[in-house]
Structures are given as structure tokens and as C-alpha cells.
Amino acid sequence: MGTAVFMVLMVCGYWYTCRDLSTRFKFKRTFGWDLYFLVALYGCIFVLQGVIATALIWLCLLLISVVLNNTTFALGDHYHHLQMDFINWSFLGIQAPVVIMLTLAILFCLYRSNWAGSARLNGAGRKELYKRLTRANGVEGLLFQCMEEGSLAWITLKSRRIYIGMIHTASFELSTTANVVLIPMLSGYREGKSLRLCIEHNYSAWYAGHDITLDSTPRSALDFRKVIMVEQIESLSLFDAASATALSMQGDE
């Protein structure tokens, strides 16, 4: 019986953490023993809900027995003990209350994972969820702001190479493959000693000269996107118009 409870607990916890949007973000960013404790935590919540629901069933049976025993339904010396019959009832060698408790835990898990309102978010709901979740991480928060507002991002790599452009997507689910997809507008590098910024490529001018936009055909700006691994990023910031003017002047020197 203990094995069955443990299996249901872990399966429910894993099922929920893999399907609930907000919990899945935590699950993908958790490693080692913390991962097992996170799964067990949510599994315990569903099992506890099953225990409470089973206790309510027992309480309802107790109230029914009391009512029957105090009315004309009590025949002679025969008294109703529905709550005791419920506790002593067995199913395939296992006490029925345990089976009912585990079944209710699974049903609660399925409801929260698939049918609850939070599991069926619309576009606005997902956007608000991502915005709330990224507040805890400065990098993700800045990238989300760039994608939401269409602002340009300034990315400096450890190799001193610099990319300035629009953030297309960002993935942080796995630390080993975390990456940022950027549509470049400017690119360059910093000199070794002076750290002076040198602009090599002006993608935005090339786009304008060849009538390339985000949705143009046969080629679009997405064809020039750069995939940058997060582990290679040294710094990340917003790129404003004042900085753009200063850079264009330096690039013409």
C-alpha cells in the first residue's frame, strides 16, 4: 500500500510539473535533488487533497448514519454504521478508502493539468504569465521587454564581439542549450586595449537597400538571424536612439 501511495504521489507530481505552464518553467530550471523535491512537493499536494476529500466522504457517511439512527429508519437493535463499513471495505486486498483517496488524487491532478482555467490560457494570459515569471531573472526580463516593446538589444560576447538587433526568441529551458535568437541591425567588436567600439556591418542599411523586412519574400530579415548561446554572453542591455547616433558617427570615422 505504501508503494502504491508513493508511486501515485511521484507520478502526479511529475505529470503536473511537465504540463502546468508556470510550474514547467521551475521544473526546467531545477537540477539535482531539488528536482525530486519539487516533483514530490506537488505530488504531496494532490495526495493531501485526496486524503481531505476521502475524509469528507467519511464525515458525510457519519452524518447519514447519525440521522438514520435517530429516525424511524432504525429498526429495533439494528444501527447504521456506514462510516465503519466504508473504512473496513476492501478492494483487491487493499482498503477501499486508500483506493478512493489515490483515485481522487489522480483526478485532481488531471483537472489541474488539463481542464482548469489556468491550464488553458489564451494569448493574453500566456503573455502575462511569461512577464510575471521573467521578473525573477534579469536577463530573461530584459529579453522579454525587448520582444514585447520591439526595442533593440545590445549584446556583448565574451569574445568582445558585439551584436545590436531585435530579439526574435529566447530559450532558457535547459542551461546547456540556453540561447537567444537575434535579428542583427549592427555588428562589430571592441579593440583589444582601448576597448573602442568598431562597427563592421550595418545590417539595417543593407535591409533598407534591398527592401528586406520581417515578412518580405523571397528573403526576409529572419534569414539573417543569429543564434547566440547564453553562456557566451558577457553583458546585455537596451540600445537607445542616442547610442545609435553616437555609433553611426564612430563608424563613419
Asked if residue 157 and residue 102 are part of one domain, the reply reads no
Asked if residue 164 and residue 85 are part of one domain, the reply reads no
Query: Considering the domain boundaries, does residue 124 fall inside one?
Result: no
Asked if residue 114 and residue 62 are part of one domain, the reply reads yes
Asked if residue 155 and residue 95 are part of one domain, the reply reads no
Query: Considering the domain boundaries, does residue 215 fall inside one?
Result: yes
pLDDT average, residue stretch 45-73 = 84
Last residue of a domain, one of 61, 88, 119: 119
Number of domain units in the chain: 2
pLDDT band at 251 (very low <50, low <70, confident <90, very high): very low
In CATH, what number is assigned to the domain containing residue 141? 2.30.30.100
Q: Would you say residue 120 has pLDDT above 60?
A: no
Q: What is the DSSP string of the chain?
A: -HHHHHHHHHHHHHHHHHHSHHHHHHHHT--THHHHHHHHHHHHHHHHHHHHHHHHHHHHHHHHHHHHHTSTT--TT----HHHHHHH-EETTEEHHHHHHHHHHHHHHHIIIIISGGGS--HHHHHHHHHHHGGG-HHHHHHHHHHHHT-EEEEEETTSEEEEEEEEEEE-SSTTT-EEEEEEEEEEEE-TTT--EEEEEEHHHHHHHTT--TT-SS--GGGG-EEEEGGGEEEEEEE-HHHHHHHHHHHH-
pLDDT average, residue stretch 176-184 = 85
Last residue of a domain, one of 94, 119, 144: 119
Q: Give residue 228's domain range.
A: 133-252
- Spatial distance between the Cα atoms of 2 and 59, rounded to a whole number of angstroms: 24
- Spatial distance between the Cα atoms of 234 and 159, rounded to a whole number of angstroms: 9
Q: What is the pTM of this model?
A: 0.57
* Model confidence pLDDT, tens digit, residues 188-199: 887 767 667 788
* Model confidence pLDDT, tens digit, residues 85-106: 777 777 666 777 888 888 899 9
Asked if residue 228 and residue 153 are part of one domain, the reply reads yes
Report which of residues 16 and 83 the model is more confident about: 16
Query: Considering the domain boundaries, does residue 225 fall inside one?
Result: yes
Calculate what percentage of the chain has a pLDDT beyond 70: 73
- Spatial distance between the Cα atoms of 23 and 42, rounded to a whole number of angstroms: 10
Q: Would you say residue 123 has pLDDT above 60?
A: no
Query: Considering the domain boundaries, does residue 128 fall inside one?
Result: no
* Model confidence pLDDT, tens digit, residues 217-242: 888 888 888 999 988 888 888 887 56
Q: What is the pLDDT of residue 6?
A: 83
Last residue of a domain, one of 54, 89, 119: 119
Asked if residue 111 and residue 170 are part of one domain, the reply reads no
- The overall average pLDDT reported for the chain is 78
Asked if residue 91 and residue 44 are part of one domain, the reply reads yes
Query: Considering the domain boundaries, does residue 127 fall inside one?
Result: no
Asked if residue 144 and residue 112 are part of one domain, the reply reads no
Asked if residue 172 and residue 94 are part of one domain, the reply reads no
Query: Considering the domain boundaries, does residue 197 fall inside one?
Result: yes
Query: Considering the domain boundaries, does residue 125 fall inside one?
Result: no
Asked if residue 176 and residue 243 are part of one domain, the reply reads yes
